Amino acid sequence: MNKALILLALIAIGLMTVTEAGKNSKEKNKNKNPKPGKYQEDCSYRRCSPEQGTICLNGTCSCNATETWNGRFCDRHLSLCSSENYCRAQGYQCLNGVCECPTGETWNGKFCSRYSAPCNTTGNFRYCSVQGLKCVSGVCDCALGKWNETASFCALSNGELCFDSKKGRGLFSGEKSDNRFRTQCDTGLYCQKQKRSRTCQCISPTVWDGAACV
- Asked if the model's pLDDT at residue 175 lies above 50, the reply is no
The type of residue at 91 is: G
Helix, strand and coil in the chain, % to nearest 5 = 20, 25, 55
Residue range 82-137, pLDDT digits in tens:
889 999 999 999 999 999 999 999 998 888 999 999 998 776 778 888 887 889 88
The pLDDT, as a whole number, for residue 104 is: 92
Length of the chain: 214
CATH topology of domain 145-214: Lipase, subunit A (2.10.80)
Give the pTM: 0.64
- Asked if the model's pLDDT at residue 63 lies above 80, the reply is yes
Q: Please, is 200 exposed, middle or buried when counting C-beta atoms within 10 Å of its C-beta (0-12, 13-18, 19+)?
A: buried
Domain residue spans of the chain: 110-143, 145-214
Residue range 9-43, pLDDT digits in tens:
556 565 555 455 555 544 454 456 788 999 999 99
Q: Residues 152-156: what's their mean pLDDT?
A: 82
Distances, alpha carbon 100 to alpha carbons 18, 81, 213, in Å: 60, 10, 37
The pLDDT, as a whole number, for residue 208 is: 92
Place 177 in a pLDDT band, splitting at 50, 70 and 90.
Answer: very low
φ, ψ for residue 95, nearest 5 deg: -125, 125
